[in-house]
């Protein structure tokens, strides 16, 4: 039977690479985005070319009614839900905490923490066996920043990913008995557009060169870890925080 996954923030970067890889494994993929519909459509086309099925699903993860609508749309399109990749995330321009205003902090925590919680909550409501679901898998996309702290860049972002780590640990214990595994990947310096949105397009290349593996990672390398955690090959892995960070 074809498996069905919702990937938040799949219009580019790690979300798109994960969608493509799952397409190649025959999955049906809900391709969520917030702003760039054309890019999400390109992701969906790539899923199709890889051998899967895709549905483009708009919605800001920080908006509760939009998140509920995303899940409704996925189930309407494919009839079921087996997995969620809680991937949408943002950074804001690099600065010290002393210079951060409340609007910036609110948006970073709204998307990265509230958004991740709303998506995980909705996944739990639909997949947990005690709520009528068939079980499933959640992979949260955290960051190595949660243990590094990101000083002078974005301590707010790092802290938001700390919340994602803790949510992963707690939710794994809550949902394991209900047939839902919950894990996180913690990418390191991955070559995507997120660094440009933080004001430093060359950040992954420059800092990646200083990692033990001497380079930035690719979105495809993170996608491999996510897809493994989603698969039955990881059937005894629950509550894990899997670093994909070159040993940094």
34 lines the binding site for ligand NAP (CB under 6 A): yes
Q: What is the dihedral of CA 112, 157, 181, 237, to 10 degrees?
A: 160
The nearer residue to ligand NAP, 13 or 52, going by C-beta atoms, is 13
For this structure, is 236 an active site residue? no
d(CA 172, CA 132): 18
The nearer residue to ligand NAP, 36 or 96, going by C-beta atoms, is 36
Out of 3, 4, 7, 13, the only residue in the binding site for ligand NAP (CB under 6 A) is 13
CB-CB contact of 223 with 20 (8 Å)? yes
d(CA 80, CA 88): 22
C-alpha distances in angstroms, 189 versus 11, 106, 162, 215?
19, 24, 17, 8
- Tell me the closest approach of the beta carbon of residue 214 to ligand NAP, in angstroms: 16
- Tell me the closest approach of the beta carbon of residue 199 to ligand NAP, in angstroms: 13
Out of 74, 128, 190, 230, the only residue in the binding site for ligand NAP (CB under 6 A) is 190
> How many residues line the site for ligand NAP (CB under 6 A)?
33
Query: Which residue carries 């700390």 as its tokens?
Result: 162
Query: Which residue carries 């509230």 as its tokens?
Result: 114
d(CA 208, CA 202): 10
The nearer residue to ligand NAP, 86 or 238, going by C-beta atoms, is 86
6 lines the binding site for ligand NAP (CB under 6 A): no
> Which among 28-36, 93-101, 168-176, 234-242 is the span making contact with ligand NAP, rule CB under 6 A?
28-36
DSSP strands (E only) in the chain: 4-7, 28-33, 53-58, 83-86, 136-141, 180-187, 241-244
The nearer residue to ligand NAP, 143 or 159, going by C-beta atoms, is 143
- Tell me the closest approach of the beta carbon of residue 66 to ligand NAP, in angstroms: 8
Binding-site ranges for ligand NAP (CB under 6 A): 8-15, 32-36, 39, 60-62, 87-90, 111, 115, 141, 143, 187, 189-190, 192-194, 197, 204
């Amino acid at each position: 039977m074809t498996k069905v996954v919702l990937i938040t923030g799949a219009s580019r970067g790690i979300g798109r690479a994960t969608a493509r890889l799952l397409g190649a494994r025959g999955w049906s993929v809900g391709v969520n985005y917030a702003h760039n519909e054309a890019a999400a459509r390109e992701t969906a086309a790539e899923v199709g070319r890889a051998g899967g099925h895709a549905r483009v699903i708009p919605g800001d993860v920080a908006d509760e009614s939009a998140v509920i609508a995303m899940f409704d749309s996925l189930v309407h399109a494919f009839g079921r839900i087996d997995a969620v990749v809680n991937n949408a995330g943002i950074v804001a321009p690099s600065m010290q905490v002393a210079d951060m205003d409340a609007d910036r902090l609110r948006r970073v925590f709204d998307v990265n923490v509230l958004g991740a919680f709303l998506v995980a909550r909705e996944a739990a409501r639909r997949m947990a066996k005690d709520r009528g679901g068939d079980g499933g898998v959640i992979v949260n996309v955290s960051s190595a920043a949660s243990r590094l702290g990101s000083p002078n860049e974005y301590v707010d972002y790092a802290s938001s990913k700390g919340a994602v780590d803790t949510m992963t640990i707690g939710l794994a214990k809550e949902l394991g008995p209900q047939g839902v595994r919950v894990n996180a990947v913690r990418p390191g310096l991955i070559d995507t557009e997120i660094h440009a949105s933080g004001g430093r397009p060359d950040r992954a290349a420059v800092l990646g060169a200083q990692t033990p593996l001497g380079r930035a990672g690719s979105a495809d390398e993170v996608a491999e870890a996510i897809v493994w955690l989603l698969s039955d090959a990881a059937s005894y892995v629950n509550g894990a925080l899997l670093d994909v960070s070159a040993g940094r």
